[in-house]
Amino acid sequence: MDDETTTPQRLGNLIGRELSTAVVMFHEAVGKRLGLSGTERKLLDMLARLGPSTAGELATHTGLTTGAITGVVDRLARAGYARREPNPRDRRSVIVTPLANPASERLRSQVFAPLGQAIADLSELYQPAELAAIASYLVGLTDILKEQTIRLHQETTIATE
């Protein structure tokens, strides 16, 4: 990369616009394979990582409102990707549980295995110290995105009250 490409402004534009757009479009394409939106697909992924969760827990992890989570869970349940179960600790809430689904399983081999291999191939171009710096940067970037998402949701909530 030349110096022009690595300026903070250029990196901010590259990451803030180009990379984020590529990530969103990738997840929309993945979701489409399942008949889901990108948001629905990522919530399903979050459920797979977290395990059975309440709408409140999912709202906390996503920054979405519990009402928005309810709508996404409704669509996931109708499509056969999740189910609601009574919450044994709080009868006013439900636990959302991801369901095994052949289409989701196919994603591992058809989509995520090739993606993982492509990322591994790219990673081989870098020395361990460079990869450590990249990893540190990505962790920091992820934290910033999470913080900014929370900020935006809070500002939206305040503005609509």
Convert the pLDDT of each residue in 53-68 to its tens digit: 999 999 888 878 888 9
**pLDDT band per the 50, 70, 90 thresholds, residue 3:** low
Task: State whether the Cα torsion 99-104-109-111 is positive or negative.
Answer: negative
Instruction: Output 52 or 13, whichever has higher pLDDT.
Output: 52
Report domain 8-100's class: mainly alpha
pLDDT of residue 10: 82
The predicted model scores a pTM of: 0.77
Checking 37-41 for CB contacts under 8 A at 24+ apart, the result is 39/72, 40/72, 40/75, 40/76
Domain ranges of the chain: 8-100
